[in-house]
Chain A
Amino acid sequence: MKAALTRYRVMAYATGVLLLLLTLHVVLQAVQKDPGQPLFDADGLGAVVPGAGAFIPIAHGWLYLIYVIVSVDLWFRTRLNFPRMVGVVLAGTIPFMSFVAERWVRHQVEPMLARESAAAR
């Protein structure tokens, strides 16, 4: 359970950071684009870091997939409130919210870990 929590937390931070970069990227695209040009044609962060325009959306997509998998894995081990866990999974798609979700999950799971180790003693 402890390892699952760690996996979840790592992925929550990774997805959160990538999503912030992706948001910044899209905002930059909106600023850069010429009138009439489709939004996603602009370079976005790719103008600052070459290749970032292609890398960030792909990386975020796959990281989010892993985030969902480790979230569900954590749920199978902890059986947190199911509707709330759905909220946690969806939080990974909203900027900043994965950090909030991570806090909630940590506050839920850490007492379980404490009980677990107390029972083992």
Chain B
Amino acid sequence: MLRTALKPRWLALLVVVLVAAAGMARLGQWQWDRAHDNADENVVARTTQPPVPIGTVIKARQTFTGLAADRPVVAVGTYSAADQLLVPERRLSGRTGLWVLTPLVLEDGSAVGVVRGWVPDAADPAGAAAAVPTGPVAVQGVLRPAEPPADRAPGETSGLPAGQVERVDVTELIGLWRWPLLTGYLVLTDYVAASAADGTTTAVPVETAAPARVPAVPEGTGGIDLRNLSYAGQWFLFAGFGIFMWWRLVRDDHLGVLPPSGPDGDPADPDPAAPEPSDRTTPHEGATL
């Protein structure tokens, strides 16, 4: 069997099969990565830009442009803990909890909502006003456009307890907060140390009870993409199948049941089981390939 496999024609075919199998495995790997990479690549690219001061991207009451979306920015200001809100029905790592949304009053007197993080329930101490860092902070985060208003009939309320809002909707926040608002919100990624133009510095706050950070790139909604996963499996199976085919052909040659090869080969060989003695007796027959 091994001697048959080492015939030049089968070695040549093995090279072809292995190259093809490697290519298919790569395609399978690519589909596998695609299946697990639900995050929009454009979002990833935008969120990994170097942060810039928030004022250079957007100011209060300005239209939220596409350039501002997912832009990493640094906003220096002071949280207003008393105005903190919770946004229920938010998922993080497969669990449903609440976003902690705190207004950050900027140096120009306007404010931006900052999603400081996620808490599993409304009673969590990290979601309490007492846990909000005091004093000036420099928030590094990713800008997101304000969410559209919740779809409700006139007069209908969200039914949420006080201190909770259904959406990060600026038109609703305007009624709750007293500052001119930016038309988007920030997802906190980190606190940074910043020095202002007047020489004062802003230190990184020490948080006693911090809510879990919300990822800058939204988690994939559907989890693993079944179609890509399916394609990945098929590519791997095809790769394995090619190798199996090679083995089968070598075995047939070894057993002497291989049909005459080449374009002249009779496709309708009436008796494929009849051994071809020449195949078995001349080990170097492959040289005629």
Quick check: is B159 within 8 A (CB to CB) of the other chain? no
Quick check: is A47 within 8 A (CB to CB) of the other chain? no
Do B267 and A108 have beta carbons less than 8 Å apart? yes
Do B238 and A68 have beta carbons less than 8 Å apart? yes
Encode B211-243 as 1/0 by CB contact (under 8 A) with A. Answer: 000000000000000110011001001100100
Encode B103-133 as 1/0 by CB contact (under 8 A) with A. Answer: 0000000000000000000000000000000
Quick check: is B270 within 8 A (CB to CB) of the other chain? yes
Quick check: is A94 within 8 A (CB to CB) of the other chain? no
By a CB distance below 8 angstroms, the chain A residues around B245 are: 72
Do B230 and A62 have beta carbons less than 8 Å apart? yes
Quick check: is A35 within 8 A (CB to CB) of the other chain? no
Encode A62-92 as 1/0 by CB contact (under 8 A) with B. Answer: 1011001100100010111111100000000
Quick check: is A57 within 8 A (CB to CB) of the other chain? yes
By a CB distance below 8 angstroms, the chain B residues around A24 are: none
Q: Which A residue's beta carbon lies closest to that of B40?
A: A38
In the bound assembly, the distance between CA atoms of A112 and B273 in angstroms comes to 14
Chain B, range 20-52, C-beta contacts under 8 Å to A:
none
In the bound assembly, the distance between CA atoms of A69 and B259 in angstroms comes to 20
Q: Which A residue's beta carbon lies closest to that of B269?
A: A79
Where chain A touches its partner, the secondary structure class is helix
Contact A111/B230 with A65-B238, A83-B263 known, Cβ cut-off 8 Å:
no
Do B272 and A79 have beta carbons less than 8 Å apart? yes
Quick check: is B265 within 8 A (CB to CB) of the other chain? yes
Q: What is the interface size of chain B, counting residues whose CB is below 8 A from a CB of the partner?
A: 19
Do B227 and A57 have beta carbons less than 8 Å apart? yes
Q: Which A residue's beta carbon lies closest to that of B260?
A: A79
Do A61 and B231 have beta carbons less than 8 Å apart? yes
Determine the interface band of chain A, counting residues with CB < 8 A from chain B. Answer: 20 to 34
By a CB distance below 8 angstroms, the chain A residues around B238 are: 65, 68
Q: Which B residue's beta carbon lies closest to that of A72?
A: B245
By a CB distance below 8 angstroms, the chain B residues around A82 are: 259, 261, 265
By a CB distance below 8 angstroms, the chain B residues around A69 are: 241
Do A58 and B268 have beta carbons less than 8 Å apart? no
Quick check: is B248 within 8 A (CB to CB) of the other chain? yes
Quick check: is A2 within 8 A (CB to CB) of the other chain? no
By a CB distance below 8 angstroms, the chain A residues around B269 are: 79
In the bound assembly, the distance between CA atoms of A62 and B272 in angstroms comes to 31
Q: Which B residue's beta carbon lies closest to that of A57?
A: B227
Quick check: is A54 within 8 A (CB to CB) of the other chain? yes
Do B270 and A84 have beta carbons less than 8 Å apart? no
By a CB distance below 8 angstroms, the chain A residues around B259 are: 79, 82
Do B248 and A76 have beta carbons less than 8 Å apart? yes
Task: Mark B residues whose CB is within 8 Å of A.
Answer: 226-227, 230-231, 234, 237-238, 241, 245, 248, 259, 261, 263, 265, 267-270, 272
- 24 A-B pairs in the complex with CB atoms less than 8 angstroms apart: A57-B230, A57-B231, A58-B226, A61-B227, A61-B230, A61-B231, A62-B234, A64-B234, A65-B234, A65-B238, A72-B245, A78-B272, A79-B267, A79-B269, A79-B272, A80-B267, A81-B265, A81-B267, A82-B259, A82-B265, A83-B263, A108-B267, A108-B268, A119-B270
Q: Told that A57-B230, A81-B265 touch, could you supply 12 new A-B pairs with CB distance under 8 A? A: A54-B227, A58-B230, A61-B227, A65-B238, A68-B238, A72-B245, A76-B248, A79-B267, A79-B269, A80-B268, A108-B267, A112-B268
Top 8 nearest A-B pairs (CB, nearest first) are: A81-B267, A79-B259, A58-B230, A80-B267, A79-B272, A61-B234, A57-B227, A65-B234
